[in-house]
Amino acid sequence: MARTKKTKSTGRFGPRYGVRVKGRLKAIESKQRKTQKCPFCKKKTVKRLAKGIWSCNSCKRKFTGDAYFLNI
């Protein structure tokens, strides 16, 4: 299934679920997939591994935090 610039990751749902719901999901997913700032080394290298599990590529620490985006 093709993803366009407008729909991005929500293109997988096609015409289902409506614009408003897909817009909210797109905002959350784009925020969770960005690199976050590490609370230990203060570099922007933290990636989400799973729900609530985060890993810093710089200092190699693995820690827990919020589910969708890091808020420590």
Is residue 40 domain-shared with residue 70, that is, in the same domain? yes
- Strands across the sheet containing 62-64: 46-50, 53-56, 62-64
- pLDDT tens-digit map of 4-45: 677 888 989 989 999 999 999 999 999 888 999 999 999 999
pLDDT of residue 4: 64
Is residue 52 domain-shared with residue 71, that is, in the same domain? yes
Is residue 12 domain-shared with residue 43, that is, in the same domain? no
Return the bridge partners of 56, or none. Answer: 46
Residue 36's nearest CA partner among 63, 7, 3, 6 is 63
Model-level pTM? 0.75
Per the structure, the count of domains in the chain is 2
Is residue 26 domain-shared with residue 56, that is, in the same domain? no
Is residue 17 domain-shared with residue 47, that is, in the same domain? no
Is residue 29 domain-shared with residue 48, that is, in the same domain? no
Give me the domain span that covers residue 12: 1-33
Is residue 1 domain-shared with residue 16, that is, in the same domain? yes
